[in-house]
Amino acid sequence: MHYEIRDPIHGFIQISEWEREIINHPVFQRLRRIKQLAWTDMVYPGAVHNRFEHSLGVMHVASRIFDAIATKDKQFLVSKLNFNDSGLDHDRVMLRLACLLHDVGHSPFSHAGESLMLTNPETGKSYKHEHYSAAIVRYALKDVIEDHPLNENYKISAEEVAQFIEGSKPKFNRVLLWRDLLSSQLDADRADYLLRDSYHCGVTYGHYDLNRLLVTMKVGFTEIDNPTLAIEEGGIHVAEALILARYQMFTQVYFQHTRRAYDHHIADAIKTLLIKEQSSNPEIVEKDKFPAPTSPNGIKHYLAWDDWRVLGLIAAGYGGEAGTILKDRKHYRCVFKTPEHATPRDIDLCDRIGDEFERLAIPGFRDSARSSWYKLGNEDILVFDGSGKDRRTVPLSSKSSLVKGLLPVFQERIYVPIEERDRAKEIIDAVKEGVE
């Protein structure tokens, strides 16, 4: 039996009994209580959608791409890559489960809370929500994944799903062929969030032709003969459109100056709440961070946090100064910003202003908005080379001057309390005069 969920972006999304049981699990239902774009609704009032609907959308888009490739390239998959019907069926189910669960590890207010994740001692880098998603699958969703009667046909383990999400080597190497549908520069994740976020924000920046993208994707080979997902030459322009849509959404929505201020304040408020909550827990060393995704107990504590809990505590007066700022809607104001593509001279000026604010005890914070819209090298989208021979591919950047020339954004901003704004501007003018 299949069920349908009505979605504003994709129409009806079909789910199986097995997927329905996972969706009904409290861990997945928690995503209803985590907004997709944190406090973006303070700028774009319609942006109140959540990670729940996005996760369903990613699963749906990935399935559509998979089905398009499996249908168009069926003979090639069977004759050249040794797939069969049961293997394709297994991989489709695996892909759907991984896409459905890829965001269950998000912290309250999505990426705004990611700055409060501990450093992974193995890598020296901070944990990301993907690490929490994989750990939640291992520790909290194992039974609902492995014990459902429909899994008798697939024998999919929670560990396989977790590995697929985090990008570690899966049990079946062929699954690597499909992982690009979850995490790449042309994946179902961004394919959904661009359409969904732009819809709810009421902007047109994130629009591109998803249907055109579907019909241009197929299986090719890299230079070292590994099978890979690629686009036909007819798909170059829709790939460009998706990349430009992402560029515009970041510059106009995700990096919007007021939105970034709210991200800073909510992270500060959550930090205050974590310190209060975890001060008596001897298992947690860094009280101002979320527990690490390395144990069932740590995941249990982590899952107890969602937007509702944070908002309730802030409303009750436990969010500290940042909580008061959020309640009163008196966010810090941006008084200085560099161009989107900051030069060393721009950064030097920003440093001088920051130093002067510190010397004069002007409260505030500095925000760095950085993103690369398109990564060259190993992460380049692959395009069929046009010869039609042996399904060879070349990087999209070798075919598209637009993509190759798209510069990453690197912008610095300085924020101060609203009551310090006029004084701050006077100091900035003085610093500029001194530099000139």
Q: pLDDT, tens digit, for every residue of 52-87?
A: 999 999 999 999 999 999 999 999 999 888 899 999
- What is the DSSP annotation of 51-110? HHHHHHHHHHHHHHHHHHHHHHTHHHHHHTT---HHHHHHHHHHHHHHHHHTTTTPPTTG
Q: Which DSSP symbol is given to 185?
A: T
In the block, residue with structure tokens 């996972």: 22
Is 126 inside any structural domain? no
Measured between alpha carbons, how far is 375 from 373 in angstroms, rounded to an integer?
Answer: 7
Q: Domain holding 172: CATH number?
A: 1.10.3210.10
Distances (CA, A) of 62 to 59, 162, 187, 204: 5, 17, 8, 23
The distance from CA 372 to its chain's CA centroid, rounded to whole angstroms, is 14
**Side chain identity at 310, as an amino acid letter?**
V
Contacts of 218 (CB under 8 A, 6+ apart): 69, 72, 73, 76, 229, 230, 231, 232, 384
Indicate whether 124 belongs to any domain: no
| Tens digits of residue pLDDT in 382-404 | 999 877 678 899 999 999 988 88
How many domains are there within the chain?
1
Residue 171 pLDDT greater than 80, yes or no = no
Task: Find out whether 336 and 430 touch, Cβ atoms under 8 Å.
Answer: no
Considering only CA atoms, give the Rg of the chain: 23
Q: Give the list of residues 6+ apart from residue 151 with CB closer than 8 angstroms, or none.
A: 18, 145
Distance of CA 43 to CAs 47, 76, 259, 261, 326, Å?
Answer: 9, 49, 7, 11, 13
Does 372 reside within a domain?
no
DSSP state at residue 338: -
In a domain, 30, yes or no: yes
Find the domain containing 164 and state its range.
2-104+141-255
Question: What six digits make up the tokens of 318?
Answer: 């436990």
Which run of H or of E encompasses 401? helix 401-404
Q: Is residue 349 part of a domain?
A: no
pLDDT at position 42 over 70:
yes
Nearest to 141 by CA among 21, 261, 283, 306: 21
Integer CA distances (angstroms), 287 to 33, 131, 132, 280, 323, in order: 23, 20, 18, 9, 18
> What pTM was computed for the model?
0.95
User: Are the C-beta atoms of residues 303 and 30 closer than 8 Å to each other?
Assistant: yes
User: What's the pLDDT band for 3 if we cut at 50, 70, 90?
Assistant: very high
Structure tokens at 346: 């721009």
Looking at the chain, the whole-number percentage of residues with pLDDT higher than 70 is 98
In-domain check, residue 362: no
Secondary structure element (H or E) that encloses residue 346, with its range: helix 344-359
**Tens digit of each residue's pLDDT (9 = 90 or more) over 244-283:** 999 999 999 999 999 999 999 999 999 999 999 988 888 7
Residue 131 lies in a domain: no
Residue 44 lies in a domain: yes
Report the alpha-carbon distance of residue 125 to residue 328 in Å, rounded.
35
